[in-house]
Amino acid sequence: MGDYHFVYKDVEGASTQWDDIQTKLGNLPPKPPAFKPPPFTPSSDHQPKDKTWIDSQTSEELEDLEDDLDDDRFLQEYRKKRLAEMQEAVKIPRFGSVIPISGSDFVREVSQAPSDVWVVVILYKEGIPECGLLMQSIEELAIKYPATKFVKIISTDCIPNYPDRNVPTLLVYNNGAVKGNYVGLHSFGRRCTPEGVALVLCQSNPVLNDGHSKNEAVIEGVRKQFIEKVVADHEEEGDDYSSD
C-alpha cells in the first residue's frame, strides 16, 4: 500500500490555533490579514433611469441619451419633453432688475422690445418721496418676475415739461403700444406694496411673467399674495390696537 502524505492549506490569510501560538512566541512572523474585496458600487451607467434621474441631467447630457433610452418609450418621451422645456426656457428673456434708461434709449428699450415681452416703465424724479416708495415695489417685482422688463427714466427725459405732481407714473407697453397708464401713487391703493402694484398691473393684461409659470397661474398667484398681504396687515393693525 502506497505511503500518502497530505499537506493541508488554510484559506489564504487564515490562521490556525497552532500558528497563533507560534506567532505569540515569536517563532512565526504575523500573517497578513485575509483579503477582502472592496464593496461593490454600481457605476453611474447602471443607476436606475427614472424621471428624477432625467431631471438631474443637463441639456447636453439629454441630447446624448437618445440611443440609451430606445428600449423605454416612456423615458424617451419624458426626455424629449424635458429637453423642449430647457430649450424654451433659454429663449425667455431674463432681466431681473430695474434698468435705467435715457430719452434716447426709449424707442430701442421700450417701443422696439420683442412682442412677447411686457415692459413696465416708471417715470420718476429724484427727491420726491412718492417716487421712492413706488420704486421699492418695482425693484422687488423686477426680481420676482425676471421675464418682465422693468425700466426707469427721469420723467422730463421721457416727456419734456412733465409735471412733478404726476410722478411717479407707470406706463405699460407691449408690442410697441401703451397698454396701461397709472398716474400718481394713489393708483396703487392706500398703501403702496409690491402685492398691490402687482395686482393693479395684472388687472387687464398678463403683464408679470416669472419665466416658467403660465399666465393664469401667475395672475392667480398675484391675487392670492395680495389677499394674504391684506389679511396680514389687518391682523397687525388689530394687534396694535389691542396693545394700546
Cβ atoms of residues 72 and 49 within 8 Å: yes
Rounded (10°) CA dihedral 204, 206, 207, 211:
170
Q: CA 128, CA 135: separation in Å to the nearest integer?
A: 11
Specify the pLDDT at position 7: 44
Torsion sign across C-alpha atoms 101, 107, 111, 114? negative
Q: pLDDT tens per residue, the chain (244 residues)?
A: 555 544 445 555 555 666 777 677 777 677 777 667 777 665 555 455 556 666 666 666 656 665 555 555 555 666 666 666 655 555 556 788 999 999 999 999 999 999 989 999 999 999 999 999 999 999 999 999 999 999 999 999 999 999 999 999 999 999 999 999 999 999 998 889 999 999 999 988 999 998 877 888 888 989 888 888 888 877 776 555 555 5
- Mind listing the pLDDT tens digit for each residue in 57-104? 666 665 666 555 555 555 566 666 666 665 555 555 678 899 999 999
Instruction: Quickly list DSSP for 75-88.
Output: HHHHHHHHHHHHHH
DSSP element (H, E) containing 242: helix 215-243
| β-pair partners for 150 | 98, 120
Residues 6+ apart with CB under 8 A from 162: 123, 155, 156, 169
Domain residue ranges in the chain: 98-235
For the domain made up of 98-235, give the CATH fold.
Glutaredoxin (3.40.30)
The closest of 124, 192, 201, 114 to 156, measured between CA atoms, is 124
Q: Is 70 helix (H, G, I), strand (E, B) or coil?
A: coil
